[in-house]
Structure 1
Amino acid sequence: MATSVLATRSHEGAEQTLRLQLARHGDHPGILDGAWWPHSRDLARELPVLLAVLDPLWGRITHASVHRATWPHIPGKVPAAGHILRLGWFDAEQDAHTISLLSYTVGRWDLLVVPPPASPDAAAWAMDAACAPDNTCTASALVDAMEHVTMSPLPARSFCTPEQR
């Protein structure tokens, strides 16, 4: 069973609801640790809201990486949750639809990043699929499958080819 986190946080005077679902870590052999559905592609605006919730749960997150083609602007540093988050990017080395979060003390987490313009039904399906204990699909495979399913009762693995796992 996944944990959904819907929290409203204020960032620079504006209220923003965080759309986040986390897999249960103790019994989760899946390749993704959860899913995040940002409201925009503005990392400087979105990351402080995400870290305000995740830092107390996972320990201080000090570094993050994203795929360069997915985000129009990737700042090197982002003030978040009372500290500075260092942000990097990759091309081929990282799935285009993930964000990797790192902490010196606790470890690494990979979250599916649901595209901001996704429909609520498609986003809910992808977030559930990413957090399923038996998920073997990559983040990109789940995003590709979002175009073909809407709240399908079928498990995500039925939409992923062996090359997408």
Structure 2
Amino acid sequence: MTKSKTRVVERTLRLRLKPTAPKTGYVDGAWWPHSDELAAELPALLAAVAGRVGTIHHVAYPLGEWARTPDELVVAGQTVRVEGIRQGTGHTVELLGVKNRRVVLLVVPPGTVERDAMATMTSASAVDNESAVDELLTAGTRQRGDHAEGVAAVQRWVTEGGADRGSR
């Protein structure tokens, strides 16, 4: 009998955080996941953000923007409650850590063109940036003067990769 080998693909975490103080704006930075599989994407993210807020025990995300996700995950031996919410700010994840310290991250849709994603992440993580989520999501395309393309990319992610997949 032969054993099948599972190939584990290590991917670079695409995350940019604002400096810890003073807090400005709604988001604390930006995250560009590789897929809409939140359960697969969270372990690396939680490990990276734990240095800022301690062990993360709760993650809130907008329903319909991710594939079906279990209500709990065990990450690094800790149980993390994962809650899909119907109301709140779209294209964000909220991570709650020790003493309810929180980090709110702008989520750049996985299929975003790299130059646009990097511009969005840079803008969202800028010390003095107070832009709204919708403004941040179009930062890369605005720099090229193509606002409509950015809006269309976000809409494609919601309609093709988010809402329909969440009902699996």
Normalised by the length of structure 1, the TM-score is 0.75
SS at match of 2:50: helix
Ranges in structure 1 where 5+ consecutive residues have no aligned partner: 1-11, 153-165
Aligned residue identity for 1:110: V
> Alignment partner for residue 73 of structure 1, among 62, 68, 76?
68
Aligned residue identity for 2:13: L
Q: Distance in 2 between matches of 1:140 and 1:69?
A: 17
Q: Distance in 1 between matches of 2:90 and 2:140?
A: 15
Are 2:106 and 1:119 equivalent residues in the alignment?
no
Compare relative contact order (CA 8 Å, sep 6+) and give the higher one, 1 or 2: 2
CA contact (8 A) 2:53 2:103 kept: no
CA contact (8 A) 2:60 2:95 kept: yes
Ranges in structure 2 where 5+ consecutive residues have no aligned partner: 1-6, 147-168
Aligned in 2, Cα 1:54/1:127: closer, same or farther, shift over 3 Å? same
Shift of 1:145: 4.4
More strand by share: 1
Aligned in 2, Cα 1:35/1:86: closer, same or farther, shift over 3 Å? same
Query: 1:2-33 CA deviation, whole Å, 9 max, x = no partner?
Result: xxxxxxxxxx9331211110100113322211
SS at match of 2:102: strand
Aligned in 2, Cα 1:57/1:135: closer, same or farther, shift over 3 Å? closer
SS at match of 1:127: helix
Q: Distance in 1 between matches of 2:94 and 2:78?
A: 18
1:10-89 alignment to 2 at 5 Å?
Answer: 13-89=8-84
Q: Distance in 2 between matches of 1:70 and 1:147?
A: 21
* Backbone CA RMSD of aligned residues: 2.2
Aligned residue identity for 2:108: V
Shift of 1:142: 1.6
Identity score, percent: 36
Q: Distance in 2 between matches of 1:97 and 1:50?
A: 16
Shift of 1:56: 3.4
Q: Distance in 2 between matches of 1:113 and 1:56?
A: 20
Q: Distance in 1 between matches of 2:28 and 2:110?
A: 19
SS at match of 2:60: strand
Shift of 1:121: 0.8
4+ long deviations beyond 4 Å? none
Total equivalences in the alignment:
140
Normalised by the length of structure 2, the TM-score is 0.74
Larger Rg: 2
